[in-house]
Structure 1
């Protein structure tokens, strides 16, 4: 699968740094959040080959922007990377494979290649279908990071077992197809575990380069991890994502409104779900518990058409509490997420009910 240029993901996947727990001194993560530095640590601990060899310098310049993309608080890359790393660790697979979406799509769920591959993992249609990803008119599961990551992890597990746990040969098979790599391996007469990519003859130069790119990218991130300043940029709450079937609704907006989720965020993360559906699709959503049944339409900010947008967000300190001034278009979910509190707690603290309406200019207490 040929790499495609990274696609910008202009969406916040973060919250301001949380307060430390008074008893332990540790930063308490808000619901649905995880620490970005811990994501990177999990990646490092899962590497099959944590060292760097001399052959990686050729491609390191190509990936020089990868650390800044991971550390960018206005990008969805780190939450998606964390989701993939966790899926690979649960499957007992090397986390080098979490670099594949970087090379393939720039970690953009909606990436499409003019040659046909699509999605985070750049599956071609037939490979996606072979791995159980539905691709049909009105729905392309390759554009669902939940569907495609499930399929990619299963496919990589199969290839990894077939090739003796050799992550480099597995990556080559992911790129070129298992039959080509197995044929090349048979010609060498060597076992898969000890075989090196350079010993396999007759494969495309793109396939040999593919492994070098993954290793080079891993080394770029390893070098970034030795810089305190970069690690400090990761040390923040990041969205924890989970795959969940969207039951009880026929479209993304309706499901989001009924489950206390941000519809715009879900659209960004799940470009496959642009249309209505008849059976619950698998989607990637923030790992938060649904609030009591509420019509989020009733608690979102609603302003008359002529309401000026000048009521900008403001946060002021009042004693030990913070006060947030609601601006046009803000929802209770978005405000709660910003400050790391549950929607339910935000409503209760301000004597609001599930049917309350937020209006621009309202003052909301954020914490006691």
Structure 2
């Protein structure tokens, strides 16, 4: 058995084909979680500047941080042979990843995930935002409807977040963190479950345990696609680490060439193109989650633009539409001004083309501002009498669920048809929280569905007069446990 680790120097390592065919991942090492920078409300910047290292090339940065260890196995050998028969594979697929890959790597690092996870969109979909499988999995991360919904992806007739590369990345990483926890820190089991489902992998593990067999991924009986899926990722990781002469590793600048801008309200793609001077076709090409001529009324209203952050902040488009003047006062600092404006200091300095932190009383700085609604929407209605009637939201009631043995946030969310993200928010939990039998969770369910999920109620809480009045105004009567005195 041969154990190899990621390369530590920036020079390429030349190895023989036979040496390459001796590899297979066994134990992943998760890098320590890095601190996050301040959020950026308008121009959304990466949480950590990964270009601040000595590597100027993003692919070199990635390959030197691949952390899975390797040992020989026939299924890995098969996948390595396939990659070596397609030596330009990564070079070709990389062309589709160019606008997004820096952001994906940044998100993976900020969550403390192994760098191998950043390679999954290449394995899943060849980095095609509109890829669709026979099982109706969509996007670069191949998310199915149920998973996407339960982890917070938005989808309606205007927008499909599964086709939005950056939004789907956030959801995929949360799902992988969940699976990693559910499989007790075993990344190979988690990756297999990402491909074929949590239940299927758990059954395979249980079957091996019952038969007295090892439960390592390589000993599990799984569907053919899953059995080949994990080795495909591991083989790509190994080829990047070892950099054989007959496998082409692409090159990308180790900095963001695109910027994420939160418009803050519904907007027309055509209006955005007109105001920014960016070709409408290029906006659609970068933002394939948009299905129509404008963002969804319910959001998100975030768009990826083909400009580096500094260029966007210093453009007339941003200055005219997202900033206004501020006069520096006594005791002001850049940090305080940025904080009050909801910006990062980096963005504030870029917006004002500043290279130092020095400011003087009376100086005028540009800071971010909200935009006017009418500026971003175009009236597309042919007749004032033809309008879409939006469904009114159903009244909701609090429902209490007592966790039973074997239940998880995922199974509970599926039972009640709610998003895991909502369960977390309602109960002040995180995706990494382990729930124990007996814990009581609160769910906000449509009132018409309450009878389907009757469970033991919690002891009545003291009367809240404000809620009583709100209930009377909204529903015409107080809630059952909130009768006025």
Q: TM-score range by the shorter chain?
A: 0.5 to 0.7
Match of 1:182 in 2: 202
Distance in 2 between residues matched to 1:239 and 1:132, nearest whole Å: 25
Q: Describe how 1:1-368 pairs up with structure 2 within 5 A.
A: 38-51=57-70, 53-55=72-74, 56-64=76-84, 68=88, 70-71=90-91, 75-189=95-209, 195-201=215-221, 203-223=222-242, 225=243, 227=245, 234=251, 236=253, 239-241=256-258, 243-248=260-265, 250-259=267-276, 263-275=280-292, 276-277=294-295, 278-281=297-300, 282-286=302-306, 287-288=308-309, 289-294=312-317
TM-aligned CA deviation for residue 124 of structure 1: 1.2
Contact 2:161 2:168 in 1 (8 A): yes
SS at match of 1:135: coil
Distance in 1 between residues matched to 2:316 and 2:208, nearest whole Å: 62
Quick one: structure 1 residues 258 and 143, their matched pair in 2 at CA, closer, same or farther if it must change by over 3 Å?
Answer: same
TM-aligned CA deviation for residue 60 of structure 1: 2.3
Quick one: structure 1 residues 270 and 170, their matched pair in 2 at CA, closer, same or farther if it must change by over 3 Å?
Answer: same
TM-aligned CA deviation for residue 57 of structure 1: 2.2
Please list the CA deviations of residues 121-140 of structure 1 after superposition, one character each: whole Å capped at 9, or x if unmatched: 11111111111111222321
TM-aligned CA deviation for residue 262 of structure 1: 5.5
Quick one: structure 1 residues 235 and 119, their matched pair in 2 at CA, closer, same or farther if it must change by over 3 Å?
Answer: closer
Which stretch of the first structure deviates more once superposed, 106-115 or 127-136? 106-115
Which stretch of the first structure deviates more once superposed, 170-179 or 257-266? 257-266
Bigger relative contact order, structure 1 or 2, given CA contacts below 8 A and separation 6+?
A: 1
TM-score (norm 2): 0.47
TM-score (norm 1): 0.60
Distance in 2 between residues matched to 1:183 and 1:74, nearest whole Å: 36
SS at match of 2:289: helix
Contact 2:139 2:164 in 1 (8 A): yes
Quick one: structure 1 residues 43 and 294, their matched pair in 2 at CA, closer, same or farther if it must change by over 3 Å?
Answer: closer
Please list the CA deviations of residues 289-313 of structure 1 after superposition, one character each: whole Å capped at 9, or x if unmatched: 33454499xxxxxxxxxxxxxxxxx
Contact 2:84 2:247 in 1 (8 A): no
TM-aligned CA deviation for residue 264 of structure 1: 3.5
TM-aligned CA deviation for residue 175 of structure 1: 0.5
TM-aligned CA deviation for residue 113 of structure 1: 2.6
SS at match of 2:100: helix
Alignment size in residue pairs: 264
Quick one: structure 1 residues 176 and 227, their matched pair in 2 at CA, closer, same or farther if it must change by over 3 Å?
Answer: same
Please list the CA deviations of residues 216-259 of structure 1 after superposition, one character each: whole Å capped at 9, or x if unmatched: 22223334x3559956x626576444554333551234334445
> Which stretches of structure 1, 4 residues or longer, exceed 6 Å deviation after superposition?
31-36, 342-345
Distance in 2 between residues matched to 1:205 and 1:229, nearest whole Å: 26
Distance in 1 between residues matched to 2:119 and 2:93, nearest whole Å: 19
Please list the CA deviations of residues 149-172 of structure 1 after superposition, one character each: whole Å capped at 9, or x if unmatched: 110011011111222322211110
Contact 1:145 1:284 in 2 (8 A): no
Quick one: structure 1 residues 184 and 242, their matched pair in 2 at CA, closer, same or farther if it must change by over 3 Å?
Answer: farther
Distance in 1 between residues matched to 2:112 and 2:254, nearest whole Å: 25
